[in-house]
Amino acid sequence: MDALHRKMQEIGFFSYPETFAVTPGETVIRVVPSEKYHFQVQAGSRYKELAWDDSIQNYDGQADQLRSLIQLIKNIIFAKDAYKALPPAAGAYG
């Protein structure tokens, strides 16, 4: 939890808008299907909800910072024994 809190402080997570979106540039790189995220975070008396559809891959510093937070969360989950004990994923995107 400390690592997550530090990362959120580092990227200014609590200053992101409630619905985050990357502004398309002159050239748009769009990913389909895209990953969608919904954060609900409480740290002390601070509360933040943030929704994001990561479908536009144009360079955006804030998007890259959110992706680094998401990767940290995934790394924490993937390191857990309970996760490692799950059966292999199956499906169209598994």
pLDDT of residue 33: 87
pLDDT of residue 62: 93
Asked if 31 and 51 count as a contact pair (C-beta separation under 8 A), the reply is no
Instruction: State the maximum Cα–Cα separation within the chain, in Å, rounded to a whole number.
Output: 45
Say how far apart CA 50 and CA 63 lie, in whole Å.
12
Question: pTM value?
Answer: 0.84
pLDDT of residue 93: 59
Could you check whether the bond before residue 17 is cis, i.e. omega within 30 degrees of 0?
A: no
Provide block-wise average pLDDT over 10 residues at a time, the chain (94 residues). 94 96 80 92 94 89 94 96 92 63
pLDDT of residue 23: 81
Q: 88: which residues sit within 8 A by CB, 6+ positions away?
A: 94
